[in-house]
Chains A and B, each alone.
Chain A
Amino acid sequence: MKAEEFAERRLELAGWPVNVASYRLGTEWHAKADNVSPGAALARATGATRDQAEQRALARAEQLLSRTRRQAV
């Protein structure tokens, strides 16, 4: 087994930059979203297509990111 068609892209979710990586393992697509800075994993998901796996991971990541409070400094 190998990770195939590995790809990464950046987008913004809930006002925060997010990196999403996705690849195929056999017939299943895997996606992982992280918060770019510092790069901590937020969510991972699987799906029948790249888009499905990414959307699932990003939906969960958006939930988490929307809870982040910005302090006045």
Chain B
Amino acid sequence: MAEYAHPETLVTTDWVAQHARDEGVRIVEVDVDTKAYDEGHVPGSIAWNWNTQLADTVRRDILSRRQFEELMERSGIAPGTTLVIYGDNNNWFAAWAFWQAKIYGHRDVRLMNGGRKKWLAEGRDLSTEVPKTRPANYTATDPDLSLRAFLPQVQTASAHAAAALVDVRSPQEFTGEILAPPGLPETCQRGGHVPGARSIPWSKAVNDDGTFKSADELRQLYGSEGVDGSRPVIAYCRIGERSSHTWFVLKYLLGLGDVKNYDGSWTEWGNLVGAGVERGAAAKAAVARQ
């Protein structure tokens, strides 16, 4: 069985149990459900709130460089700290935090394979204590925008097949049957997908226990849809968190060179004046081919 391209970016729950309180290691929980941490968390871990601490709350954007530095400083994370991130929903927003950490050049970032679900299912220790952190000094790099796609790049990719567009939402969102995941608020005017995109739901990359599928399985999954590194890749979803999960898989587990996360995603494209969408029968056919 082939190994992941960058196995150093994943740690097991066992590893976290043994190293969570090591000097130079910081464990951070990032959940979709921001109350989950309070219920009980990996002892020694801190929490980041995705919608207040991992986003600019005034403009729609990721953290600025200074905001990222402040978050790291408050969290007691120095540039040399081993940052291990985990969370619920198979590490959705953990991957979102990982993506931002890489944009700002943090060297050693890892995901706990299986996330919060695996930790709970294994009956591992939980704590409700919030550890005190000693502020650190942190200098980030300039943002590495090779990891992030903006609207003009997606428009070019769609119009000229300049990159493989990977829609990681559910098949019903891809076809336009629903405008948002079942039970969640509709945040766009139209359903469908970016013309030319392929449907490869993020969830196909994980096992039932929340861990990532093997490198061979992942290579087969994405390769069968033409996502094989022969051209750049842009992944998107609704707001960019599910696609950061797929971005991590393609970039670090499969080792593809040019992979971007389009965090504007469907809440941008689906609301854009003058932008075409694909939906319906053609889209269903694309899903059926999976």
- Seen from chain A, the residues whose Cβ lies within 8 Å of a Cβ on chain B are 1-4, 6, 16, 21, 23, 25, 30, 32, 34-35, 37-42, 44, 61, 64-65, 67-71, 73
Contact = CB atoms under 8 A, between A and B. Distances in A.
Contacts of B182: 16, 35, 37, 64-65, 68
Contacts of B89: 34, 39-41
B181 interface: yes
A9 to B, nearest CB: 12
A71 B120 CA distance: 37
Q: Which 10 A-B pairs rank lowest in CB-CB distance, beginning with the nearest? A: A64-B183, A3-B120, A37-B170, A73-B280, A41-B33, A16-B182, A35-B182, A68-B182, A6-B121, A65-B183
A73 B33 contact: no
A25 B202 CA distance: 30
B175 A73 contact: yes
A42 B124 CA distance: 24
9 contacts: A3-B120, A3-B121, A3-B126, A16-B182, A38-B173, A38-B202, A39-B92, A64-B182, A73-B192
A37 B88 contact: no
Interface SS of B by simple majority: loop
B176 interface: yes
Contacts of A61: 183
B46 interface: no
A67 B19 CA distance: 44
A40 B184 contact: yes
Interface residues of B, number: 47
B279 A73 contact: yes
Interface string B163-188: 00000011111011111111110100
Given A2-B126, A68-B180, A69-B186, 6 more contacts: A35-B183, A39-B89, A44-B33, A64-B182, A65-B183, A73-B283
Contacts of A70: 177-178
A42 B39 CA distance: 16
B117 interface: yes
A6 B20 CA distance: 23
Most buried by A among B170, B186, B237, B284: B170
B175 A23 contact: no
A16 B124 contact: no
A14 to B, nearest CB: 8
A25 B280 contact: no
Contacts of B203: 37-39
